[in-house]
Structure 1
């Protein structure tokens, strides 16, 4: 280990001279009165001058101050340590601990090695500190070597050391070995149980957390707030509301609600168990709310798909002047992605840059997903290229984003690049690449990728992968091959697979196959309104009007509810929601006037409403046309036209698949108004510009 030269101050030690008498034992002076590196240098200079630094107790106090107490002084501590003649174990312990905690765990392990080579006696503090360094680096091999030395040195039964061993093994992913250490302990205090619970928590073994906690209860082991935080986290992940509520009742009965960390854990548990209102009540009752509490509640809303509420709470957090952290940003970006709230998400990205937040894998991946779901796939690629490290989830998010935005071939290029970078794809990655093949009509590539899953990657295809292949074949018009593919599936096809084929039958006007697909759906589950509409439209497309009307009448007879079409548009950070034939908006008259003008202009260029896309209840011809002209996405586009400057891109999010009429109308609107219009529907993105759509009418 390289020595660092001691730099003594040139100035006189004025603050020391003001002391009436330098104390005989200056340890308390060093540890309590030295508030800055400058104070310590002055005391250090005096100790060198009076040769009192040769006293190990005093030298260790100086080391402790520099290595552990003062900021940015670890190099100064090293310089002192390297000039000590024969440092004792306590001096080594201070330095190993300081290095382990001051972002230098590698140097802590090297110093431990030097200590061992110099035959300096280890103790429980030495082993605990070096194991923490191994844990931070996830250095399993070095941790195992330290463990062997512990056994050899006779510290096997020291609870302090064993707790750190449990922590080290669990942090290195060896939770089974950690449990062996735990089970082998002669005595286990609450700290040991907490170490093991923490190990299971770090490895996401939520069932084991609950099992171990129940074991604690059986053995009447006393538990504390650290225990409850781990268990509440597990209850949230397992949706174990019953156990979570029991802990909540215990917290109330013991008067522990003032413990903000515990209350935040309760909020997180309730939110993850779907009890968002209960979580919000707890949140509102908190005396002080730190960033963790705000993040837990925002995350709770996001996970409950109450994304508008998540963004509203984030705006409240900004007003409260609480700085967001990475967890907050991930939840907010997720909510922006779901709602298509581009302006808010873009502001969040600028906030991340302004605060110089590190672009971690989690944050970067969510940014990629956000931009992709807002139709800005080029920016997703920019974020991806700016990331220092990308894991399989990052690559998958980018590939899926490219697929959904109609960049199928580019998605496959990135998949090839992923393989070149030795990142192994997972089953979700294959859903993304197969989806890319589907949207871009890359049939041969899709077949090859599907067949390579088992052979090349040892991944067993799931029902979703089979559904992707049916979609690839069906969209390409290979309906008979798609039907045979389903018949040969090694797992029973579900209604979604048959529904995928039914959609392709409608696109290719194949009535016979549509009827077969519909029959299979009804055998598996009650058909929903979309299935009837697909079959009805297939009949209508081949001129079988009576059959089309008969199928549509079944929806009324069976009282099947149709999911209402809903479109969202974000303007000035506010998300506006429109439903078909909506008249409830505060600017409703203005919007409908703009819609009438928009329809008049596109009709002059040949647009004719497609009555097949009218709502079922509309019977008169005029009523049907009104129904088609007042679809939610048309209302949202009209509002965008009157509320945004000329040439501004209009972004719409739709909860259902865009209908053929709206697709044709939006193409003409983009040309008439010289606007780029991006519509995200349930299946993919449509980028409309100058009368054309990025999907090439293949969706």
Structure 2
């Protein structure tokens, strides 16, 4: 710490300490302006003691202010030692210490000192209350804040601290109290308006922000940069692009583009309103971009689900040598989770450890979610165990991650532990719990949890919960019961629920209910190609090939095109994207050669291509080649030639894995002695030694 501090001062400051001959009549000149380091302050302090001037409050309070606030390398212990040696400190001395504790993020100590001030019968002055209220605000200590408010009213200093009172009440979640204080404030005071606007922002009362701003303009109250930042924040949350563009035009017209904070807020507003290209152009025009500006751009791309762009901007941020903060890292981790970008996400985790960043609930949960969505549940659990605080969202991410990765029984063990710790589950927790029962084949347990959520926790089942129950019953082969469950649901079943039942019919070769499922799906989503393919596969599985072809022909006649498969693989921090029969990739020749060798090798191990999974318009002679060039096979082929033997290959896919690719990947894992993790639209598949974690049910 000392080395870092000395780096900021010249050699002259260090080697030539202040020489004291006689104190000026006004001690501020020497103590507050010339003392730059603790060494200077020690010399002044020694001289004060030697000359007994430390008994003069005028000298001691200036010394105290330097020690507590002005000199960066001093400690509060040193300031406290000065304070405790003051004989009967007056309000000014207390004010310095309360302000210092508040500034140095020790608000609890500030309130304790304020209490001692009262115990010692020292009357507060108008400067005592603002910092004390700020301490209450930081601690969200509403009771103490109300008590101080009463003391302010009694002392007659009310009008001088109204803005701080508004801030305190808003931060403590009592926006209605903040409004009452504001109503009693002079409406010509822009600081009062800004305090109220900031209060609404903290309470996420976005509509009230815009309403108050309209009122402000109607009354002709001049507004400033702080006002506009609050308004832009609300515009972003409400997607009010019209007012946001008005503010942007105002900033341009009035020459306010030099304010980094204000322009960053404009960038953030455009990004949150979905105008990420406009946000990017404005971002690129900025002369200076701090971590908040970079985070706003990254967060905007993340919310727009433009995950590759997030990683591109994040790399540019690193090149610019701007250190990311928690907001930046949470957005980056979210996109790494979507893309399966393991190496980039691991780098973020390493950065967090290296910088000794606090593993907050938000950051820790984002890290857990990233690892879970990359199929690394042990790493997710390690992060979970490291987090000092966990909330229901942290537990839910863990339970869902275990369920999706085929560890249903372990997920339920964590749910039991969660309940032991008296953490109340929410509706999303139960989606994870029911999914765990589904993947583990625990039908009776699933029924019990479905009843428990409303009976024990007052959570009304949503469509997702009903869908989970259909999946639980369908996976267990209870197709007729699942069908009846849908028919008796108190809410209208959506396409996802019927599609879940159709997938169960495919797994258990139930033609009759499969046909009924498709009828309902055609009514709800008539152009969804995957539904027709599922029924076609059911017909093919029971030998009704003509019916299978009839369904495929219906798709052609209706102009229904199969959604192109897309698979992603990350290698050395770079994301490679493949589409089925991709011929435009810069690696296509190399990949196709590798894929052909891979197919040839697994054929000798028993692999037989399934022509039914070929694209619909493929000629009979081309069907085998079509299947061989599915996107995940191309991605796996690149992984085989670009990674060391024994390395785990991780793929993310936009669709459900087809039966041919599932069968092929099982054999690839055995022939090439590789673990292959595929995350498809529905779940994770962990392939190893010729078998899959889904037990061939997906």
Normalising to structure 2: TM-score of the pair? 0.95
Aligned equivalent of 1:5: none
| Structure 1 position 680, deviation (Å) | 0.8
Aligned equivalent of 1:696: 695
Contact 1:521 1:527 in 2 (8 A): no
| Structure 1 position 274, deviation (Å) | 1.2
Partner Cα separation in structure 1 for residue 237 and residue 438 of structure 2? 34
Aligned equivalent of 2:46: 45
What's the secondary structure of 1:32's corresponding residue?
Answer: coil
Whether 1:192 and 2:192 are equivalent positions in the alignment is yes
Partner Cα separation in structure 2 for residue 206 and residue 563 of structure 1? 39
| Structure 1 position 20, deviation (Å) | 5.7
Partner Cα separation in structure 1 for residue 343 and residue 470 of structure 2? 37
> 1:360-399 to 2 correspondence within 5 Å?
360-399=360-399
What's the secondary structure of 1:679's corresponding residue?
Answer: strand
What's the secondary structure of 1:671's corresponding residue?
Answer: helix
Which moves more between the two structures, 546-555 or 379-388? Answer: 546-555
Contact 1:380 1:398 in 2 (8 A): yes
Whether 1:73 and 2:90 are equivalent positions in the alignment is no
What's the secondary structure of 1:57's corresponding residue?
Answer: helix
Deviations, residues 536-576 of structure 1 (Å, cap 9, x unaligned): 22222223323322222222222223221001111111111
Aligned equivalent of 1:82: 84
Deviations, residues 327-357 of structure 1 (Å, cap 9, x unaligned): 2211111111111111111122112212222
Aligned equivalent of 1:636: 635
> 1:209-228 to 2 correspondence within 5 Å?
209-228=209-228
Aligned equivalent of 1:306: 306
What's the secondary structure of 1:124's corresponding residue?
Answer: coil
Whether 1:529 and 2:529 are equivalent positions in the alignment is yes
Measured at CA, do residues 16 and 627 of structure 1 come closer, stay the same or move farther in structure 2, by a change above 3 Å? Answer: closer
Measured at CA, do residues 690 and 162 of structure 1 come closer, stay the same or move farther in structure 2, by a change above 3 Å? Answer: same
> 1:291-690 to 2 correspondence within 5 Å?
291-620=291-620, 622-690=621-689
Aligned equivalent of 1:4: none
Partner Cα separation in structure 1 for residue 556 and residue 350 of structure 2? 50
| Structure 1 position 661, deviation (Å) | 0.9
Partner Cα separation in structure 1 for residue 16 and residue 581 of structure 2? 80
Partner Cα separation in structure 2 for residue 281 and residue 567 of structure 1? 30
Measured at CA, do residues 561 and 178 of structure 1 come closer, stay the same or move farther in structure 2, by a change above 3 Å? Answer: farther
| Structure 1 position 126, deviation (Å) | 1.2
Whether 1:18 and 2:19 are equivalent positions in the alignment is yes
| Structure 1 position 594, deviation (Å) | 1.6
Deviations, residues 287-338 of structure 1 (Å, cap 9, x unaligned): 1111111111112112211111111111111111111211221111111111
Aligned equivalent of 1:138: 140
Aligned equivalent of 2:259: 259
Measured at CA, do residues 606 and 129 of structure 1 come closer, stay the same or move farther in structure 2, by a change above 3 Å? Answer: same
Partner Cα separation in structure 2 for residue 642 and residue 15 of structure 1? 65
Partner Cα separation in structure 2 for residue 152 and residue 123 of structure 1? 12
Partner Cα separation in structure 2 for residue 193 and residue 540 of structure 1? 70
Aligned equivalent of 2:3: none
Measured at CA, do residues 579 and 217 of structure 1 come closer, stay the same or move farther in structure 2, by a change above 3 Å? Answer: same
Deviations, residues 354-411 of structure 1 (Å, cap 9, x unaligned): 2222212111111111111111110000011111111111111111111111111111
Contact 1:486 1:493 in 2 (8 A): yes
Aligned equivalent of 2:62: 61
Partner Cα separation in structure 2 for residue 179 and residue 415 of structure 1? 42
Select the residue among 124, 127, 130 that pairs with 2:126.
124
Deviations, residues 198-221 of structure 1 (Å, cap 9, x unaligned): 222223232332222223233332
| Structure 1 position 55, deviation (Å) | 2.7
Aligned equivalent of 2:8: none
Which moves more between the two structures, 629-638 or 539-548? Answer: 539-548
| Structure 1 position 687, deviation (Å) | 0.9
- Where do 5+ consecutive residues of structure 2 fail to align? 1-13
Question: RMSD over aligned Cα, in angstroms?
Answer: 1.8
What's the secondary structure of 1:569's corresponding residue?
Answer: strand
Contact 1:16 1:43 in 2 (8 A): no
Which moves more between the two structures, 491-500 or 307-316? Answer: 491-500
Measured at CA, do residues 124 and 486 of structure 1 come closer, stay the same or move farther in structure 2, by a change above 3 Å? Answer: farther
Partner Cα separation in structure 1 for residue 405 and residue 662 of structure 2? 16
| Structure 1 position 188, deviation (Å) | 5.8
Runs of 4+ aligned residues of structure 1 deviating over 4 Å after TM superposition are: 13-17
Which moves more between the two structures, 542-551 or 404-413? Answer: 542-551
Aligned equivalent of 2:4: none
Partner Cα separation in structure 2 for residue 234 and residue 121 of structure 1? 41
Measured at CA, do residues 128 and 313 of structure 1 come closer, stay the same or move farther in structure 2, by a change above 3 Å? Answer: same
> 1:72-111 to 2 correspondence within 5 Å?
72-111=74-113
Contact 1:509 1:541 in 2 (8 A): yes
Aligned equivalent of 2:178: 178
What's the secondary structure of 2:505's corresponding residue?
Answer: helix
Contact 1:446 1:472 in 2 (8 A): yes
Normalising to structure 1: TM-score of the pair? 0.95
- Where do 5+ consecutive residues of structure 1 fail to align? 1-12
What's the secondary structure of 2:578's corresponding residue?
Answer: strand
Contact 1:344 1:573 in 2 (8 A): yes
What's the secondary structure of 1:122's corresponding residue?
Answer: coil
Measured at CA, do residues 505 and 211 of structure 1 come closer, stay the same or move farther in structure 2, by a change above 3 Å? Answer: farther
Aligned equivalent of 1:166: 166
